[in-house]
C-alpha cells in the first residue's frame, strides 16, 4: 500500500506558460498578455490550470507502475491562480476511507493549495 505520491515540483516561467499555450491552443490573454492581465483582478498573467495538472500525472507515474495511468478518474478544482514565476509542488495522499482514491493537490511555496481534488486509480497497488 502506497500512502503518499512522490512529490514533483516546477518553477513556471512566462516562457513555460507561452509554451503550454502553444500545446493547448489556449492563448487566453490572462495567460499570455501581461498588459491585459494587469488590467484584470488577477493583476498579472497566470498559468493554465491544466499545465499544473501535468505534475500530478508525473507524481503518479513516478509512484506507480506505468499502466496505472491508462485508466483513472480525476476531479479537481482550480482554487487559486499560479502566477508566472511561481513554484509549485504536486502531491497526494491515500484516502483512508477509500483505498483506491488519493487526495491530490498542487501547492505553492507557502503551502497554499492552488488545485485540490481526488483521483481514483483502477488498479492501485
In angstroms, what CA-CA distances link 34 with 21, 23, 83, 107, 114?
14, 19, 11, 23, 21
98 binds other proteins (CB under 8 A): no
CB of 94 to other proteins, least distance (A): 19
83: Cα separation from own chain's centroid: 13
- First CA to last CA across the chain, in angstroms? 6
| Window 31-90: residues binding other proteins (CB under 8 A) | 36, 40, 48-51, 53-55, 57-58, 60-62, 66-78
- Strand (E) or helix (H) holding 59: helix 49-63
CB of 81 to other proteins, least distance (A): 9
- Contact residues toward other proteins (CB under 8 A) are 10, 16, 19-20, 22-26, 28-30, 36, 40, 48-51, 53-55, 57-58, 60-62, 66-78
Amino acid at each position: 500500500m502506497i500512502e503518499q505520491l512522490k512529490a514533483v515540483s516546477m518553477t513556471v516561467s512566462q516562457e513555460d506558460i507561452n509554451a503550454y499555450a502553444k500545446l493547448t491552443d489556449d492563448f487566453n490573454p490572462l495567460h499570455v498578455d501581461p498588459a491585459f492581465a494587469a488590467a484584470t483582478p488577477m493583476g498579472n498573467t497566470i498559468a493554465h490550470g491544466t499545465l499544473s495538472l501535468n505534475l500530478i500525472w508525473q507524481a503518479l507515474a513516478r509512484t506507480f507502475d506505468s499502466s496505472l495511468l491508462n485508466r483513472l478518474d480525476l476531479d479537481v478544482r482550480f482554487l487559486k491562480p499560479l502566477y508566472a514565476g511561481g513554484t509549485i509542488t504536486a502531491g497526494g495522499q491515500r484516502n483512508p476511507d477509500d483505498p483506491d482514491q488519493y487526495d491530490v493537490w498542487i501547492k505553492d511555496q507557502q503551502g497554499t493549495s492552488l488545485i485540490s481534488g481526488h483521483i481514483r486509480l483502477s488498479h492501485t497497488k
